[in-house]
Amino acid sequence: MPLTTIVGALWGDEGKGKVVDAINEEADVIVKANGGGNAGTTYVIGDKKVILHLLPSGVLRGKRSLLAQGMVARPDQLCKEIEEFDNLNLGIDPRLHMTLHYHLALDYAREKAADLKAKGDNKTSGGAIGTTLSGIGPTYEQQKSRAGIRFFELCGDEAKLRQKVKANYEYVQGIIRQLGLEMVMPDRKIIEGKYVIEDVPLSLEQCEELAVESGKKLKRYMADVADEVLTAYKEGKKIVFQGAQGTLLDIGFGNYPKVTSSEVRAPAVYTAVGIPAFPMKVVGIVKAYPTKVGSGPVVTCLDCQKWPVDESFSDPVAKIIRERGQEKGATTGRARRVGWPDMVILKYSNNLNGFTDLALTRFDLLSDINPIKVCVAYMIDGKVTDKYPAWDLDALTRAKPLYAEIPCFGDITGIRNYDDLPSGAKQFVELMEKSTGAPVSIISVGPERSQTIFRNFKAF
């Protein structure tokens, strides 16, 4: 099969970078189809760490790299990432919607207003989603309301672009004023290890200049991605769709409203790219333990469900995992909540994606935890179930995890063959396979590229 999709099986941050890079070695074309500046994928190339938010990982290998219609992108962020590379082989679909700074201002204002309302209601946590403040929701919202600015307009007639930016800026300003807030952008910083956000005023002139100038720089990358992918497919080229975020953040099937604003599931790539539903391989990336940034229930959470995480209150196992795994957002720097492995959500995720393979990442991080608890079912209101009610956040908050226990399996970082894994580690893998019906064909046992076990894995 010349098509392979790589998709986060849980709430994102599964360590897709390592798997994506390994598969890319064999690929001709790499396409991103959803999300935008909210994603951040970390790649370790030799002793260098590279974090990409928008560009597909193909740019690291000089391969044809495409941004499809289903993505959204901030033009200044695109320009900045592009500057890091010489001779980029990049194509951007004219239909892709642009995130402009007023989208970030609106995202920020809404989150702030939700927090303020929660404080007024004397609640410790409120309606805030805990977004990455990257303007994702407002950009997709404007796409649906048909007021958005596509890549095509960004690179088109300057006077028309200015007019549209002005109309959108004023529209957003009106909403923000209604919330009793100012038109400011969030500037995220880590100061003395703490995540802080500072307000930066945002003018119409700034937004206009940014749009016009970046449009001029980016115009040369315009390409009909839908047509190009179809042609590449017909020519038998190997194509990778590099997913962003994770299945439980899907706008329709995730934990709505605590979700992102794009379709994250593997089958959504067909509509996001604009190609027929040809057969494809679906590699689900599943971290050995789930993590989540942002609010919303995590049934097996080790951090008292609290968001933002209060690290001084955290469970010792969560602390160890977070520290070892450096579980902080690549985009925001916020600490991620950590949970015990959960087969109920993985099964749900498999039902939505149809994994042909699972790639288990960060398995070595669990090696000395004893016992490892693996959730196999939930008890909700006195009933045992292995079905995941993703749509009912109250039921998920009441759900009690039922665990199987797996004994500590010791250091596995030097193992390269599945048969050489200790029995506890194999038990874990087999439980995952039994719960989903999908083979675990990639197991990552350390950060290096060589620290990977492949079990009859074929990338295409």
Residues in the site for ligand IMP, rule: CB under 6 A?
11-13, 38-39, 129-132, 134, 136-137, 244-245, 249, 258, 260-261, 293-294
Contact 273, 432 (CB under 8 A): no
Report, in Å, the least distance between residue 137 CB and ligand IMP: 5
Residue among 269 and 275 whose Cβ is closer to ligand IMP: 269
CA dist list (Å): 43 to 24, 287, 290, 396: 12, 16, 20, 34
Report, in Å, the least distance between residue 261 CB and ligand IMP: 6
Residue among 228 and 342 whose Cβ is closer to ligand IMP: 342
Report, in Å, the least distance between residue 138 CB and ligand IMP: 9
Nearest residue to ligand IMP by CB is 294
Residue among 249 and 432 whose Cβ is closer to ligand IMP: 249
For residues 182-213, one letter each, b for 16 or more C-beta atoms within 10 angstroms of the residue's C-beta and e for the rest, the string is ebbbbebeeeeeeeeeeeeebebebbbebbbe
Half-sphere exposure of residue 226: CA atoms within 13 angstroms, side-chain side: 15
Q: What gap in Å lies between CA 293 and CA 337, rounded to an integer?
A: 6
- The phi and psi torsions of 104 (rounded to 5 degrees) equal -65, -40
Residue among 2 and 290 whose Cβ is closer to ligand IMP: 290
Residue among 275 and 390 whose Cβ is closer to ligand IMP: 390
Residue among 118 and 402 whose Cβ is closer to ligand IMP: 118
- DSSP letters along 328-344, please? B-TTT-PBPEEB--BHH
Report, in Å, the least distance between residue 4 CB and ligand IMP: 20
Reduced to 3 states (helix: H, G, I; strand: E, B; else coil), residue 410 is coil
Nearest to 203 by CA among 215, 192, 211: 211
Residue among 244 and 443 whose Cβ is closer to ligand IMP: 244
The amino acid occupying position 241 is F
Residue among 2 and 329 whose Cβ is closer to ligand IMP: 329
- Mark residue 333 as left, alpha or beta (left: phi above 0; alpha: psi -120 to 50; beta: remaining): left
Nearest to 41 by CA among 31, 30, 28, 54: 54
Report, in Å, the least distance between residue 140 CB and ligand IMP: 9
Report, in Å, the least distance between residue 35 CB and ligand IMP: 6
Residue among 188 and 398 whose Cβ is closer to ligand IMP: 188
Q: What gap in Å lies between CA 225 and CA 82, rounded to an integer?
A: 18
For residues 94-114, one letter each, b for 16 or more C-beta atoms within 10 angstroms of the residue's C-beta and e for the rest, the string is bbbbbbbbbbbbbbbbbbbbb
- List all residues 6 or more positions away from 192 whose beta carbon is below 8 Å from its beta carbon: none
Report, in Å, the least distance between residue 332 CB and ligand IMP: 7
| Residue 426 neighbours by CB distance under 10 Å | 15
**What are the residues facing 339 on neighbouring strands?**
301
- List all residues 6 or more positions away from 351 whose beta carbon is below 8 Å from its beta carbon: none
Report, in Å, the least distance between residue 439 CB and ligand IMP: 25
Residue among 300 and 367 whose Cβ is closer to ligand IMP: 300
Report, in Å, the least distance between residue 186 CB and ligand IMP: 11
Report, in Å, the least distance between residue 425 CB and ligand IMP: 26
Half-sphere exposure of residue 157: CA atoms within 13 angstroms, side-chain side: 4
